[in-house]
Amino acid sequence: MPTTRDRKYKRILLKLSGEQLMGDEGFGIDPKVLDKMALEIGQLVGIGVQVGLVIGGGNLFRGAALSKAGLDRVTGDHMGMLATVMNALAMRDALERSNISSSVMSAIPMSGVVEHYDRRRAIRLLEDGEVVIFSAGTGNPFFTTDSAACLRGIEVDAELVLKATKVDGVYTADPVKDPTATRYERLSYDTVLADKLGVMDLTAICLCQEHDMPVRVFQMDKPGALLNIVVGGNEGTLIEAQGE
């Protein structure tokens, strides 16, 4: 088992998609999945990694999908952001049940439910070893939680943004649709943008490029992958300035 001495990163920002929380269910939250994730996050905390967390809302609502069904887009995005707060509350509950201290902050003020996002306080909590869950995305419609993850990662001086997905990295094309697609080990922001590689939204990639924030895309379902990354393992794909 790795120890503090094996740790490569001191502070990371982990992005989980909402769909990951629903497990085999078609909608909502599967408590078994939450417990499994809490266990994996606890392993990072155990070796002294400071963990910021952004969770999506796609298991509940997505603004774009609601808009297709006839709802006003901005209203749909507000619903999507509120969905991320629900997921954050469920994750905090799972973390606390595993005796991992955690706090939820929201980009949208929600007095009495969660505290409002405050960068300096978030950094203090991270330094104290608490997992800080940043919810309600960026607080603005027309953005995604990928962008929120990169934004918060940059703001709190994380060394790496980790994007957990269903696939095990970035491919030359969507591997779900194109079985001949091949996986990159390392990749530049420029290539992701030029080839419009859809694993992460391009606004998020632009933000990371501008602030030199590396992103590692990896498969959350792979046992031990998360821990392996924070000790310097080569999981999935690393997106940075000097990629392929």
Ligand X SMILES: O=c1ccn([C@@H]2O[C@H](COP(=O)(O)OP(=O)(O)O)[C@@H](O)[C@H]2O)c(=O)[nH]1
* Contacts with ligand ADP, residue ranges (CB under 6 A): 17, 19, 56, 58, 165-167, 170-171, 173-176, 197-199
**Closest separation between CB of residue 99 and ligand ADP, Å?**
28
Q: Which residues are annotated as a binding site for UMP?
A: 57, 77, 138-145
- Which residue's CB is nearer to ligand X, number 84 or number 209? 84
Q: By CB under 6 A, how many residues form the interface with ligand X?
A: 24
In angstroms and rounded to an integer, the radius of gyration of the C-alpha atoms of the chain is 17
Residue 174 binds which one of ligand X, ligand ADP, none, with CB within 5 to 8 A depending on kind? ligand ADP
- The answer to the question of residue 13 lying near ligand X (CB under 6 A) is no
Residue 137 binds which one of ligand X, ligand ADP, none, with CB within 5 to 8 A depending on kind? ligand X
Q: Which residues are annotated as a binding site for ATP?
A: 15-18, 58, 62, 165, 171, 174
Q: Which two tokens stand for residue 103?
A: 């706090």
- The answer to the question of residue 23 lying near ligand X (CB under 6 A) is no
Residues in 51-90 that interact with ligand X by CB under 6 A: 56-58, 62-64, 76-77, 80-81, 83-84
- Which residue's CB is nearer to ligand X, number 62 or number 92? 62
- Which residue's CB is nearer to ligand ADP, number 13 or number 170? 170
